[in-house]
Amino acid sequence: MKNLDLDLLRTLVTVEKTNTFSGAAQALFKTQSAVTQQMQRLEALIGCPLFQKKGRRRILTSQGRQLADYGRRLLAINDEALRSIGRNQMEGHIRLGAPLDVADTILPPVLTHIARHAPKVRLEIRVDRSPFLMEAIEAGDIDLTISTRKSPALTGFALRTSPTAWICAADYVHNKRAPLPLILADEPSIFRKTALEALEKTRLTWHINYLAPTLVGIKAAVRAGLGVTCRSVEFLGADMRVLGEADGLPPLPPMTYMLWTRGDTFSPLTIAIYEMLKAQFETQEGA
């Protein structure tokens, strides 16, 4: 009786997920030729074609889709077994970063999952702005970080995609005819960039009424009614409200919060915690 190779199945499932061999290669940190060779080996093992050509692309055959479905189930059992057996062996110290605006929303479920499944791991939490957290992880000062920013030097996955909104105090009086008073973070800030790019596509006039180096300062200015800011809805408090297109403001793109680690990390604990969180949150997103 032949045995299925889980490594080959993981590559097949990743090809199905990314829709291309090159995408799978990037996700699995392999070369495209290595992915191709693995799929050829899997076809030889199964004894039937798993892919067919459609234009310049290769798509899964019905047998390929069926095998990928079995593969997902087998890999889920494999990964759960390893996590279950290995979680008691996960000991050590993890330094985790998070932006202040998600400290009450996205960060707690992450911490809860680590505490529940790796109780012997000690956590050091650093709450800061995204650009500074990215500098810290690239410098090796932290092991993992939640951030809205991107870096080709890091490996990450999406924790949550949140709507971005124009936010003001609950009692703020919005005057459509007056220049829009903005409350923004100083550079570098992805939300500042998002707000200004959206406004530049309109005929609206605006001015920066308050510039803050920290999120605490931005929240204080919003609550004081000094103007309007652009943030993800994670920022919203009970004393705030959202302005939208009905108020004459342009739509804003959603913001994705990623969990990042260094692609070249050699820490088994960091890799184990990252993979454990990835399995948990990607399962939630796909549910």
Q: For 87-135, what is each residue's pLDDT tens digit?
A: 556 789 999 999 988 888 899 999 999 998 888 899 999 999 888 999 9
Q: For 149-189, what is each residue's pLDDT tens digit?
A: 988 889 999 999 999 999 999 999 999 999 999 999 887 88
159 in a structural domain: no
Contact 148, 99 (CB under 8 A): yes
State the CB neighbour count (10 A cutoff) for residue 147: 27
State the CB neighbour count (10 A cutoff) for residue 60: 18
1 in a structural domain: no
Q: Do 202 and 275 sit in the same domain of this protein? A: no
195 in a structural domain: yes
Q: Is 169 helix (H, G, I), strand (E, B) or coil?
A: strand
142 in a structural domain: yes
Percent of the chain topping pLDDT 70:
94
122 lies in which domain range?
91-154+261-286
Give every CB contact of residue 108 below 8 A, 6+ residues apart in sequence.
Answer: none
pTM > 0.75: yes or no: no
**What's the CATH code of the domain at 23?**
1.10.10.10
**Number of domains within the chain:** 3
Q: How far apart are CA 168 and CA 158, in angstroms?
A: 27
Contact 210, 221 (CB under 8 A): yes
**What's the CATH code of the domain at 179?**
3.40.190.10
Whole-Å CA distances, 157 to 73, 144, 236? 21, 12, 24
243 in a structural domain: yes
Q: Do 76 and 18 sit in the same domain of this protein? A: yes
